[in-house]
Structure 1
Amino acid sequence: MSDIAERVLAIVAENNKLRGTVASLNSKINTLQDICASQNTENDELRTKNEALNKIIRDTGKAYDKPLEEKNYKILDLNERINKWEAECDSYKKKLDQLEKENEELKAKRDSDNQRLCAVETGLLHRNMQINKLIAILRRKITTHRVVRVALKAAFKLLPDLKQQTTFEGIVEHSKKVDHRALVEKEVSATLIEAGLVVGSNNLVLPTPTRAAEEEEEN
C-alpha cells in the first residue's frame, strides 16, 4: 500500500509540476501572442506606410517620367539634327575641297594666261617698236624723195637752154616708163629688214630670224 501511495503522490507531484510548466508555457504563449499581435499591428502600420511611400514613388516617377520622356525625345531630335548637320558638313567639306581644287586649277590657268599675255604684250611692244622704226624709215625715205624731187625741179629750172630741158624731160619720162617693181620690192625688203621685219612667203610681215631669236631669249 505504501508503494502505491508513493507512486500516486509522485504522479500527483509530477502532474502539479506539469501544470506549472503548462501554466508557464501558456503565460509565455500569451506573451508571445501579445508580441505577435503588436508586431502584426506594427507590420500593418509599416505596410500602410510602405504602400503610401510606394504611391508617392509611383506618382513621383510618373511626374518625372513625362518630362524625362520629353527630354529623351528632344535629345533624340537633337541627335538626328546633329547627324544631319554632320552629313551636311561632310558634303560642304567635299564641295569646299572641290572648289579649292578648281580654284588652284584656275590660279594655275590664270598664271599661264598671264604669262601668255605678258608674252603677247611684249611681242606687241616689239611690233610697235618695229612699226615705229618702219614709220621713221619711211618718213626719212619720203623726205629724201621729196628733197630729190625739189632738187630735180631746181636743176631743171637752172638748165641753160630749151634743148637741155627737153633732154632732161625725156630722161624723166623714160624713167617713169621703166618697170620699177623689182627695185621697189628690193627697196621695201631692205626697208623692212632695216626695221627688223621680213615679208614671208604668205605675204605676212614677220620678224627677221635674228630679231625672232632675240625675242625668244627675252621671253
Structure 2
Amino acid sequence: MRILLVEDDIELQTNLKQHLLDANYTVDVASDGEIGLFQGCEYRYDAGIIDVGLPKMDGIALITTLREKEIDFPILILTARDSWQDKVEGLDAGADDYLTKPFQPEELVARLKALIRRSAGKASPLIHNGPFSINTSSLEVKKGERLITLSGSEYKLFEYFMLHPGEVKSKTVLTEHIYDQDFDLDSNVIEVFIRRLRKKLDPDNQYGLIETLRGQGYRLATLTTDKASK
C-alpha cells in the first residue's frame, strides 16, 4: 500500500515515515501543501495523511483541491487544534478521519489500516478469498490453516490484490502502489513477484489464483466456496 504523508515538521515526518515503513507501507513525503498537491495529483495512492497547518497551502485547502479534482483516496488529517469546529471543517473538506496531536504512531497506523479497508469495502482486518486469507493487522497470510511466509514486497503485492479481487491491475498500477515515485516503472520486478506468489500460494495452479491478461495486466481470481473446497 502506498501512502502520501504531508507534514512540515521534519522530525515528526521522519518518525511517522519510519513507523509506516515498519508497518509495510510504501511512503512518499511532502513538506508543504503545494508539493503535496502535486504528488497527490501525479501519483496513485491508497491513502493520505495530511497535516492541517502546512506552509504554502494549508491542509484544508489541499484536501479541498484534491477532492475538487476527483482524487478520492482516503485521507487522515493531523491537527494540533482540538476544537470540534476545526475537526468538522477538515471532514467537510473531504477528509475521512482525523487525529489530534499529540498521538501515538500505533494509533495512526491502526486508523490508516481501517481507512484503507473501508475504501475497499472491507470491515474486518481478516480478508478471505477461497482458502486464502490475509490479516492486515498482523500481516499474516494463510492458506487454510497453514501460515505462508512472504517477503515484504510479496506481502504488499498480495495485500493489494486481496483488497481488489476480480479487478484487472496493470504492471504500472501495481508498481506504483508498491514502490515510491523514484522506482523504475519499466522494471520486470512485478513479473518476478507474481511468479513467487504463484509458487508459494498456488504452486499447482489448482485455484488459478493470479491470472495474466495479455496486454492488460493481472487479476486475482475471486474464489467461490466450492472452488475453495477442492
Output the TM-score relative to the length of structure 2.
Answer: 0.17
Higher helix share: 1
Larger RCO, structure (CA 8 Å, separation 6 or more): 2
Q: Which has the larger radius of gyration?
A: 1
Larger fraction in strand: 2
